[in-house]
Amino acid sequence: MLYSIPTIAAFASLAAAQRPNGTSICDYYTTALLKNNTAVNQMTLLTLLVNTAVIGNYTKPNVGITVPGILAKGKVNETEVDLLPYFIGGLVSSNRGNKAVSVNFLDDGGAVPLTLNKAANGTNSAQYRLLTHLYEYFGGLLGCSLQGQDGYPKYAGSNNMGSVHKFMGLSHAEVTYFITQVGLSAASFGVTTEDVTAVGTALNEAFGYICSPPASIPASEPKEPQAICQADDCPLAANAQCSAYDKVVEPATATSSAVATGSATKVAGQSGGPMATSGAEVGKEVGGVMGVVAAAGVFAMVL
């Protein structure tokens, strides 16, 4: 099923215009794409952005940019990347009470509800919690001004990205692939190259450097370790503060004896991917989409 956006043709020409100073990416593209800048429409924009980044293109029409999706296998500069096992409980890589456990995050419909512009079939699952947290977190990063009003709750998950991702041992290629999918998703809705590059650079700066010193993201929160790239091949942060992080251990493959807690947590093998309906182009070469130029500030500065 394709989610159609009647105003998208008008949007493509609008988006080519310069985003005014002082208007956030979220507010600008909500108006451009969905006409009225309301909390509900901001939530819809972030749902489109995140769902497309996760499962690949499912909207029509788009501006002709293919998004393979975070769940599809890909390559970053000749390095193969496969993030799916982290999301289907294939690895003992989730942090629950500072213990590594395996969690299936596609436990409530997998890709199908995402193609219907939803987070999950229901509202009480690991899938629902993760997807809604991503809508909310990225909405904060992109400056959604109406978040907190009816229809678009403020982010209620952890603000310590280092801890959330601490048992994943994510490499430079894995983090780059993820960020690239977010950028491609935005570009597929007509977000300008300038804005896509700004977001990609900000994400990379904030989360892509091992041992990055604790930072407040968003600015209103206490300082926490935020590095998501934690494997040995990750670029070292300026002012690195490795003591803020535990030593990284690469996640084990989940087995039936792996720890599993909570009703939505289960141990699963790596077969049976969720991609049957997404039409994502698996194995497409990515990389080089985003400028990896170091920027001094993070989101406050560019967004």
Residues near ligand HEM (CB under 6 A) are 83, 86-87, 94-95, 103, 105, 130, 133-134, 137, 157-158, 161, 164-165, 168, 170, 174-175, 178-179, 203, 207, 228
Residues 203 and 294 sit within 8 Å (Cβ to Cβ)? no
Nearest to 114 by CA among 50, 65, 159: 50
Cβ distance to ligand HEM smaller for residue 103 or 210:
103
Shortest Å distance, C-beta 112 to ligand HEM: 19
Shortest Å distance, C-beta 64 to ligand HEM: 25
Shortest Å distance, C-beta 16 to ligand HEM: 26
Shortest Å distance, C-beta 159 to ligand HEM: 8
Shortest Å distance, C-beta 80 to ligand HEM: 14
Cβ distance to ligand HEM smaller for residue 28 or 209:
209
Instruction: Give residue 214's region: left, alpha or beta (phi > 0; psi -120 to 50).
Output: beta
Cβ distance to ligand HEM smaller for residue 5 or 191:
191
Cβ distance to ligand HEM smaller for residue 158 or 216:
158
Nearest to 284 by CA among 74, 66, 58, 54: 74
Residues 290 and 200 sit within 8 Å (Cβ to Cβ)? yes
Residues 26 and 145 sit within 8 Å (Cβ to Cβ)? yes
Q: Does residue 218 have a cis peptide bond before it, meaning omega lies within 30 degrees of 0?
A: yes
Whole-Å CA distances, 276 to 56, 241, 272: 12, 43, 9
Q: Closest-CB residue for ligand HEM?
A: 157
Shortest Å distance, C-beta 145 to ligand HEM: 19
Shortest Å distance, C-beta 265 to ligand HEM: 9
Residues 146 and 42 sit within 8 Å (Cβ to Cβ)? yes
Instruction: Give residue 239's region: left, alpha or beta (phi > 0; psi -120 to 50).
Output: left
Q: Which residue has the tokens 């251990």?
A: 249
Cβ distance to ligand HEM smaller for residue 31 or 136:
136
Cβ distance to ligand HEM smaller for residue 179 or 267:
179
**CA angle in degrees (0–180, nearest 5) for 161-37-180:** 40
The identity of residue 6, as a single letter, is P
CA distance 200 to 1: 29
Shortest Å distance, C-beta 187 to ligand HEM: 16
Q: 223-254 burial by CB neighbour count: b if 16+ within 10 A, else e?
A: ebbbbbbbbeebbebeebeeebbeebeebeeb
